[in-house]
Amino acid sequence: MGSLPITAAILATALGLHSPEDVVEDRVDLIEVNHFFDERGRLVFDQVIFYEWTATHGRYQVRTWRLLKSPAQQPQRDWRRGDYVTVWHDGDLLRKVRTAAVRETWTQHDPELIDRELLPKECRRGLPQPVGHGVLRR
């Protein structure tokens, strides 16, 4: 997806052109923009990883992740609210995820894949899914 549709989605959201039920909003404790490189230093992919803090285990654990397909998907500072927000089309949904903390990493390992060893993918909380008329399912 090019940056034009994402930019248009962000603008439409900011201008209130989407009705509230068209935008699925969530909040996470940390968003990581990860750039994964192979053993030769070549970029393999960029991803956005969404984390929640778990006091029980004393660490951030992955809720979900998405490939970073456009620079417009990167979290942007919302100076008015004092946090960060990322907005993108996730299939047919327009998603908006907020966080207080963002980090950017360049690695030769996949942090999301490593997290699966501690919390299997099927046990993750994920992002909410609409099930009809504004009702969300986790």
Residue with the bigger pLDDT between 11 and 49: it is 49
- pLDDT, tens only, 43-58: 999 999 999 999 999 9
- pLDDT, tens only, 68-126: 999 999 999 999 999 999 999 988 889 999 999 999 999 999 999 999 999 999 999 99
Q: Which residue has the tokens 């940390």?
A: 30
Q: How far does CA 23 lie from the centroid of its chain?
A: 14
For the chain, domain boundaries: 3-116
The CA distance from 24 to 136, in Å, is 8
The CA distance from 96 to 14, in Å, is 11
Tokens of residue 66, six digits: 């998405």
Predicted TM-score of the model (pTM): 0.79
